[in-house]
Structure 1
Amino acid sequence: MSRTEALRLAEEAGVDLVEISPNAEPPVVKVVDWGKFQYQRLKEQQRNRRSNKASELKQMRFGLKIGANDLEIKLRKIREFLADGHKVKILIFFRGREMAHRELGYELIDRMVKLLENEAVLEQKPLMAGRNLSIVIRSK
């Protein structure tokens, strides 16, 4: 259809002629109500932003001398985060002379990874930064 004919049809219908794909041969246009088109595009962007927000990085801190029951409670919370689609950063902090026994922190990390192996995948290897040992996990 020619450009003038398309403009005439759009004007008769009381709507706008919007160019969708200018690089195509011939260019692709659409007859739409511009206000409604902009509103729908805005709503779609808001939906996309909302869905992107779901993958936040949650953080869970552990002391080196955590008890078995406390560990289970925190692991249950980590499982909830993973089920919601979040990534989880597990942070083990060392106090005082605990820095001399870093291997205990690595053992605790290994134990947690084994307990979470059905729900999670290790995304970042154990990393020692100052007095903290951390890993990042995500759901399978």
Structure 2
Amino acid sequence: MINEQIRDKEIRLIGEEGEQLGIMLVKDALKLAKDANLDLVKIAPTAKPPVCKIIDYGKYRYELARKDKEAKKKQKITEVKEIRLSPNIDDNDLNTKANNARKFITKGDKVKVTLRFRGREMAHISSSRQILDNFFAKLEDVAVVEKPAKLEGRSMIMYLTEKR
């Protein structure tokens, strides 16, 4: 809230240089802000009494936007990449998929390994867990199991993340 939008009777005022000007009426604070050719901005609305500061509002918004942009730049976004396998996958295909998963994991992404069952393949679920175990064995040096293999509907899903 800025200037006339502030509806409180009394506020704690902070000056342009950051000095405490004490508790005063809003109209007196507004007069001080107008004399300095600046805005009265409510900084801490939940405080008793609310804290307001005399600042240039446009400059204040610009600084906040810049800080948010800097914080966003530094944060790391982890994506979840999916690798799909089938119960009758061959060794070379499994190696290729494992190499792709290795690239994803070393980049810092999580990998969701999905083993899809179609038709009669649902009868051999117990032997298919071995495929996921072999897949993880190929990535043991760079990955850890975040969520172990679990059957969900017609697919068995396992999550891998980077070793710390």
Classify the TM-score, shorter chain.
0.7 to 0.9
Which aligned pairs between 1:81-100 and structure 2 lie closer than 5 A? 81-100=104-123
Per-residue deviation at 1:36? 3.3
- The reply to whether residue 22 of structure 1 matches residue 74 of structure 2 is no
Q: Distance in 2 between matches of 1:89 and 1:122?
A: 10
Match of 1:66 in 2: 89
Q: Which stretches in structure 1 are left out of the alignment for 5+ residues?
A: none
Q: Distance in 1 between matches of 2:87 and 2:122?
A: 10
Any idea what SS the aligned residue of 1:109 has? helix
Per-residue deviation at 1:109? 1.1
- TM-score under structure 1 length normalisation: 0.72
Per mean C-alpha deviation after superposition, the further-off stretch among 88-97 and 21-30 is 21-30
Number of equivalenced pairs:
139
Where relative contact order (Cα < 8 A, 6+ residues apart) is larger, the structure is 1
Match of 2:142 in 1: 119
- The reply to whether residue 41 of structure 1 matches residue 31 of structure 2 is no
Which aligned pairs between 1:5-16 and structure 2 lie closer than 5 A? 7=30, 10-16=33-39
Amino acid paired to 2:114: L
1:23-55 deviation per Cα after TM superposition (whole angstroms, max 9, x unaligned): 446654444332233344345169649947x22
Per mean C-alpha deviation after superposition, the further-off stretch among 112-121 and 40-49 is 40-49
Q: 1:60 to 1:23 in 2, by over 3 A?
A: same
- CA-atom RMSD in angstroms: 3.2
- The reply to whether residue 139 of structure 1 matches residue 162 of structure 2 is yes
1:5-26 deviation per Cα after TM superposition (whole angstroms, max 9, x unaligned): 7655543443323222234466
User: Greater helix share, 1 or 2?
Assistant: 1
Q: Distance in 1 between matches of 2:107 and 2:31?
A: 51
Amino acid paired to 2:41: V
Per mean C-alpha deviation after superposition, the further-off stretch among 11-20 and 73-82 is 11-20
Q: Percent identity?
A: 36
Per-residue deviation at 1:134? 0.9
Q: 1:79 to 1:28 in 2, by over 3 A?
A: farther
Q: 1:56 to 1:24 in 2, by over 3 A?
A: same
Q: 1:15 to 1:112 in 2, by over 3 A?
A: farther
Structure number with greater Rg is: 2
Per-residue deviation at 1:115? 2.4
